[in-house]
Amino acid sequence: MSVLVAVAAGPEGAAALTAGAAEADRLGTDLVVVNLTLDPLGPLPAAAAVLERHGPGDRDPVDAVLDEIAERGDVARLVIGLRRRSRVGKALLGSVSQRLLLDSPVPVLAVKPEGTA
């Protein structure tokens, strides 16, 4: 069993990583990190397995996460970070987080960075 964290750029990604590490610890399971930023990640929990994407030509970020869930077959939880979006932004623009919430075959833990409503 494992907890998979989709880490995007910005404070949302950091919040997801923190929550994912706590969730993996709570469940007593492995932590798998999918780096969606295309940049090196900062400090990570020692036991975390990191999966890197290889540039814009690599798969769509949502497909990369969903493919990893399907390939592993043991993912108990997906952890993602959310950012505040306006009503117009929600209506007109899709987001990686929204697509993962709707399409994930496993339960999703969605977190916001501290200080956001």
Band the pLDDT of 88: cuts 50, 70, 90. low
Band the pLDDT of 114: cuts 50, 70, 90. confident
With 80 as the cut, is the pLDDT of residue 89 above it? Answer: no
**What ranges in the chain are assigned the alpha helix state H?**
11-27, 61-72, 87-92, 96-103
Domain locations in the chain as residue ranges: 2-111
> What pTM, to 2 d.p., does this model score?
0.86
CATH topology of domain 2-111: Rossmann fold (3.40.50)
Which pLDDT does position 97 carry in this prediction? Answer: 87
Across residues 67-90, what is the average pLDDT?
A: 84
> What average pLDDT does the chain have?
85
Across residues 16-33, what is the average pLDDT?
A: 93
Across residues 26-54, what is the average pLDDT?
A: 84
Which pLDDT does position 19 carry in this prediction? Answer: 94
Q: What pairs with residue 78 in β-bridges?
A: 4, 108
Burial bucket for residue 92 (CB in 10 Å: 0-12, 13-18, 19+): exposed
